[in-house]
Amino acid sequence: MKRLSRRHVLAGGGAAAAITASEANAQAAKSSIKWDRVVDIIVVGGGATGMPAAIVAREAGSSVILVEAEKHVGGHAICSGGNVPLGGGTSFQKKWGVKDNPELVFQDITDWSVTSANGSADYRYNDREVIRAFADNSAATCEFLIAHGVVFVDKPPDTQGGNSVGSSVPREMHCAPVDWPLIQTGKPADADRRMTMSTGNGLMHPLIAAARKAGVEILLEHRMKAIHRQGPQSGPVIGLAVENNGKIINIRARKAVILGTGGSTSNVNFRRMFDPRLTEEYCGVAGTPWSYQDASGEIAGMAIGASLWGLYNNTGEFGSGITKPGTIGGQYGYVNLRFFPGSEVFDKARSTGLPVKNWQDVITVNMIGKRFYDETGTQFTSDNYGVNKDYVPNSYLNAKNIKWDPHNYLNAAMAGIGDGHNGGGPIWAIFDADAVEREKWDVKPPNTDPANGFFFTADSIPELAKKIQMKYQRVPMLAENLEATISRYNSFVDSGKDEDFGKPKPMYKIARGPFHAAWATPVLHDTRAGLRINAKCQVVDMNGEVIPGLYCGGESAGGFSLHGLARATCQGYIAGNWAIKEPNRA
């Protein structure tokens, strides 16, 4: 508007007047909000972004309310494997003689030339401004975590659990649970593992305790409904509307609102903006049923003008954005998370699932009973220290030196049955009584979930096919298909060659009843795209302008392909440090 001439303004006077009136009405409506609470900073989400942000802000003297939609805090982070690839010269790296610095971190995770074995680029589409901030604050975040009670397993940094964390040096640290209870069981880890296993419980329990000790007020079962901004898409953010037990509560933020809502994998329509295949049957999202990545932060931000950012990273076929299931026979099959009786959410999880030690013990079929790929095929890979042994920064040879391997198990699973529908439909692991003995499985509940249609058993293959009926099985499984599939596969065991999909020397026939069908549908995991942020973790709108008083980090923020906890904790640390510097808008 500042660039328009007076003649243009007069010519468009009606529209300008209407806009002005609309803005005025909106501002009047905002000014009439009855504020139930007033605080300096509101943090949304009690996970790996929200907790560090809240602690930093509160310890700096700001009053802080943290709102959490669930009955418990910890977010997806507490469900994780506890692997934290912070670098740049941390005290932990120095202890073990690993030489690292911020420049090396920045170089590593902006290297255009690095690709995974299927050609996907791990770092090429990262936002350099966002990465610069991460590189400069990575070591400080590590020291912050240590100072607030996080204990890392006492071994050198390694590559365990690392996705797209950089090629130059090892950075992965692992959070020990010590004596904290595990959300998976409700009890502490076995005594001999408390200082050696890696778990998100070891990250989040100390941070939750530190937040409470600092005086952060935590409001559980308070779900964000809207962000209040001075104008619909103008002016600073001034607070939140949250819902608790059906009641709307308006909380005024004198300084800032920080979003750490955890991404979008649980929101079917939102995730399908990135990939139309991700329909309702992908219902075993990692981290659920403890917490849900519902895109609430992204949706609320977009409603007041925020932009999305770095969308390639959410669809790039590298890392663990989507994974093969690690367990079968239950809805929630993420490889690094199993809930057991004793967990406060086991009534929702309903089964532990059956861990698959050897994919030679099963075949996987689509909803019409046909195989689609080599069952031993891997999921997408990603870059890490040592993946490319001849790594040279920013060299075209980095891609050339990687052995080509398309890793198409997941794409084959999501291809569907050729009937024009989006989504691949349910994938079923089919196996017999001999496989149960080899894997040492107990196929009875609560290890499986037959009551909800995630596990079926029958004495014959035709009877098994007929039984497979559940919410996501949109077409019947044809008995003749499943019988033909198993007969053909058994012939491959006799010949020692899988003529359809190249499974290495098929080993075991499916021949002795009872026969079983276990849910084995791919699992959604990472969100690697979200709201646009700058180096300060301030949210940016569609015009490239900062939305004053609004911050975001972790899986709700875009521009950064790094998997998991380092990104979230560091951006929470950054957001908290900048939010406290906002002017008091009371």
Check which CATH number belongs to the domain holding 440 and give it: 3.90.700.10
Is residue 535 domain-shared with residue 460, that is, in the same domain? Answer: no
Q: Is residue 392 one of the residues assigned to a domain? A: no
Residue 411 lies in a domain: no
Q: Quick check: 363 and 430 in contact, CB under 8 A?
A: yes
Whether residue 400 is contained in a domain is answered as no
Answer whether residue 9 is part of any domain: no
Q: How many domains does the chain have?
A: 3
Shortest CA distance to 35 belongs to which of 300, 217, 304, 239? 239
User: What is the DSSP secondary structure assignment for residue 48, as one 8-state letter?
Assistant: T
In a domain, 231, yes or no: yes
Q: Indicate whether 155 belongs to any domain.
A: yes
Judge whether 382 and 327 are in contact, CB under 8 Å.
no
- Do 342 and 464 lie in one domain? The reply is yes
Q: Is there a single domain that holds both residue 449 and residue 340? A: yes
- Do both 362 and 467 map to the same domain? yes
Among 475, 490, 519, where does a domain finish? 519
Assess if residue 416 is contained within a domain: no
- 38 with 89, same domain? no
- The residue assigned the tokens 């198990």 is 409
CATH of the domain at 311: 3.50.50.60
334 and 468 both lie in a single domain:
yes
Residues 129 and 186 in one domain: yes
Q: Is 469 exposed, middle or buried (0-12, 13-18, 19+ CB in 10 A)?
A: exposed
Are 478 and 445 found together in one domain? yes
Q: Kindly give, in sequence order, each residue whose CB lies less than 8 Å from that of residue 24, ignoring residues fewer than 6 positions away.
A: none
Q: Are residues 44 and 98 in the same domain?
A: no
Does 446 sit behind a cis peptide bond, omega within 30 degrees of 0 on the bond before it? yes
- Residue-range definition of the domain harbouring residue 105: 81-204
Q: Are 156 and 257 members of one domain?
A: no
Do 122 and 114 touch, CB atoms closer than 8 A?
yes
pLDDT average per 10 residues of sequence, the chain (586 residues): 32 37 43 92 98 98 98 97 97 97 98 96 98 98 98 97 95 98 98 98 98 98 97 96 97 98 97 97 97 97 98 95 97 95 98 98 98 96 94 95 93 95 97 98 98 98 98 96 98 98 98 98 96 98 98 98 95 98 91
pLDDT value, residue 32: 81
Is 408 part of a structural domain of the chain? no
Q: Is 129 found in the same domain as 97?
A: yes
**One domain, residues 250 and 305:** yes
Global pTM value: 0.94
